[in-house]
Chain A
Amino acid sequence: MSAHSITEPSVRQKWFAGALVAAYALITLLPLLWIIATGFKSSSDAIAYPPKILFEPTLEGYVNLFTAQTRQSPEYLAQNPPATWYEAIVHDKGMVIAGPSRYGERFMNSVIIGFGATFLSVVLGTLAAYAFSRYRIPLKDDLLFFILSTRMMPPIAVAIPIFLMFRNLGLSDTHAGMILLYTAVNLSLAVWLLKGFIDEIPREYEEAALIDGYTRFQAFMKVVLPQAATGIAATAIFCLIFSWNEYAFAVLLTSGTAQTAPPFIPTIIGVGGQDWPAVAAGATIFLVPVMVFTILLRKHLLRGITFGAVRK
């Protein structure tokens, strides 16, 4: 694209657009920066009145996030000096570390369930989308709408029967159960996104492959999949964002074993009050995997979402 192309915006226009977008981005970033900053505040700075912009950073929030603590008598504390830097932080508050907190487990559950469900949704979604895109399936439009409609039920509404069903199948509070559930919720989006994308891959490529002696399946694996990589990546991002952050099912259907981090983070309680630095630290750490995933795949994000909205 040359600078003199007639559709190319002028330099002034670009400047103007850039400035507006940057301004919006900075405003929208503020709450996020506030969360990240709060993670490094002491618990009194976090609720300082009026709010503090400059503060002395501490890792107290991160230590609180990963440990359970108990108050101890001054005599006990004097007898047991802290051995490590994180014990020292806790020690200064008149507490001792009683053990690890549940955050690590919850986070790992999120990793297993989030990525597991994403993988499964993308695989099943790709297969279904290909079939919908290439074959004449009876009642295709109705089936597609049916698939979308499964996303319309409020999670609370299906939670009771799912709860009872999972209990009978031994799936309640298991990783497998949650992966299946999130996959089912994600599938509608995955099928819709991917069908739009696969629709745009010219059929001629596959037909050429078939003439070269490939079977249908081989043609799908070797021709269509590589072409659809962009759409698959974009779909994976959306599926991950959903299953990583889902709250309603997690809070209602899981307890000890398979609970993910989102129901856990808002409820981190410190000495009496809500431990804002620990909450913020938990939120920050929790954002990292999905953010990295998105940034790695960001090139595909834009090209990948077309939803079949453009018909050739």
Chain B
Amino acid sequence: MSHLNMDSVARATPRHLSRRIRGLSDRAIAWVFVAPTIFLLLAVNIFPLIWTIRLSFTNYAANRPNAEVQWIGLRNYERILSDPDTWATMQATAHFLFWTIVFQVMIGFALAWLINQKFRGNDLWTTIIVLPMMLSPAVVGNFWTLLYQPQLGLFNSIVGFFSGADPTSFSMIGDVHLAPWSIVIVDTWMWTPFVMLICLAGLRSIPDSIYEAAECDRASRWRQFWTITVPMVLPFLMLAVLFRGIENFKMFDLVVQLTGGGPGNITTLTSIELKREAFEKWRTGYSSAYAVILFVTVFGLASIYVKALNRVKDR
């Protein structure tokens, strides 16, 4: 909708009508601007959500359209919450979520701080660092299975070269203890740049004058870092964490391609479990209940977090 276009439309319409369009009251403009977004989100997100909630109280199976659908109350919820597998996948998800965020925040912030030292060529290096996040997670997960191959893979060769260990003596994907870390490593490789970018934006938004004032007060560099840099970047960092947290709570493509949820159920994240129930077993009602539980969890955590974020911002 370029403005040129709007002009010609306006010219073609009768004068009083065009005045009406152009001269819409502020309130009307606000609603006209917001409405398409709200409408689309209602149609594609909220309507399905309500449908999901409804289905979650039934035994509906989408692959048996002719079977009789029964209301079974809260039975789906009871079954899910009393199933130890549910808690195992929640734990796997929590492990993944926690460590990816820790690593991405630490490395991402450090990189942003270093890049902000404005050395020559920092623009070029930034662009290079950002590259992994442009790849498709499914393709990345698939390709890393090759990199993690003990015999054929680059990862094991490099680790072997630097540690002196035999590259074939460990298997990142196959070992029960290493597999949870294998997915953390790939996600960190891929998404640290995202956190870095946001931190960098934060660092660059700090006016030099604040540091200059601190310098006049003879505050040490260390002190400046903790009293100026960190608090000023914190809101940015928290936003990065929010978005990474939401994305990784939903994590599916990368892990499904990389480990398939194995060994056993060690890396079966909630989305993978949900996919099995919904699209392989076709227990639509059951999986709808599962989806609702996940949504409530992430919604609850996120709303607490956003409250905290707003408090930090307002400070």
A residues apposed to B, CB below 8 Å? 1, 5-9, 13-15, 17-18, 20-22, 24-25, 28-32, 34-35, 38, 47-51, 123-125, 127-128, 130-132, 134-135, 137, 143, 145-165, 180-181, 183-185, 187-189, 191, 215-218, 220-222, 225, 241, 244-245, 247-248, 252, 261-263, 265-266, 276, 279-280, 282-283, 286-287, 290-291, 294-295, 298, 301-307, 309-311
Which among A21, A147, A149, A301 is the interface contact of B122 at CB below 8 angstroms? A21
Which among A35, A128, A304 is the interface contact of B37 at CB below 8 angstroms? A128
The answer for the CA separation of A301 and B31 in the assembled complex, in Å, is 29
| Neighbouring B residues of A261 by C-beta, 8 Å | 136
Q: Are B146 and A29 in contact (CB under 8 A)?
A: no
Evaluate whether A30 and B24 lie within 8 angstroms (CB atoms) in the complex, with A151-B246, A184-B40, A309-B239 already known: no
Binary per-residue interface labels of chain B (198-211) against chain A in the complex, 1 for a CB within 8 Å, 0 otherwise:
10111011001001
5 closest residue pairs by CB, A with B: A157-B291, A266-B142, A161-B48, A18-B119, A221-B3
| Neighbouring B residues of A29 by C-beta, 8 Å | 128, 131
Q: Are A35 and B143 in contact (CB under 8 A)?
A: yes
The answer for the CA separation of A98 and B194 in the assembled complex, in Å, is 43
Q: Are A287 and B152 in contact (CB under 8 A)?
A: no
- Besides A155-B252, A156-B275, 4 new A-B residue pairs in contact (Cβ under 8 A), listed by A number: A35-B143, A153-B291, A157-B274, A161-B49
| Neighbouring A residues of B202 by C-beta, 8 Å | 309
| Neighbouring A residues of B126 by C-beta, 8 Å | 298, 302
- Chain B interface mostly: helix
B residues apposed to A, CB below 8 Å? 1, 3, 6, 21-24, 26-27, 29-34, 36-38, 40-41, 43-49, 51-52, 55, 62, 107, 111, 114-115, 117-123, 125-139, 141-144, 146-147, 151-154, 157-158, 167, 189, 192, 197-198, 200-202, 204-205, 208, 211-212, 215, 235-236, 238-239, 243, 246, 249-250, 252-253, 257, 270-271, 274-275, 278-279, 284, 287-288, 290-291, 294-295, 298-299, 302-303, 306, 313-314
Q: Are A216 and B29 in contact (CB under 8 A)?
A: yes
Q: Are A131 and B215 in contact (CB under 8 A)?
A: no
Q: Are B253 and A150 in contact (CB under 8 A)?
A: no
Which among B31, B146, B158, B284 is the interface contact of A160 at CB below 8 angstroms? B284
Q: Are B52 and A160 in contact (CB under 8 A)?
A: yes
| Neighbouring B residues of A301 by C-beta, 8 Å | 130, 197
Q: How far is the CB of A299 from chain B (nearest CB, A)?
A: 9
* 6 pairs, A vs B, C-beta closer than 8 Å: A17-B114, A34-B147, A154-B274, A158-B291, A160-B62, A161-B49
Q: Are B271 and A217 in contact (CB under 8 A)?
A: no
Which among A31, A47, A217 is the interface contact of B132 at CB below 8 angstroms? A31
The answer for the CA separation of A188 and B33 in the assembled complex, in Å, is 15
| Neighbouring A residues of B114 by C-beta, 8 Å | 17-18, 20-21
Q: Are B134 and A287 in contact (CB under 8 A)?
A: yes
The answer for the CA separation of A216 and B33 in the assembled complex, in Å, is 12
| Neighbouring A residues of B125 by C-beta, 8 Å | 18, 21-22, 25
Which among A7, A157, A252, A279 is the interface contact of B211 at CB below 8 angstroms? A7
Which among B24, B46, B120, B249 is the interface contact of A152 at CB below 8 angstroms? B249
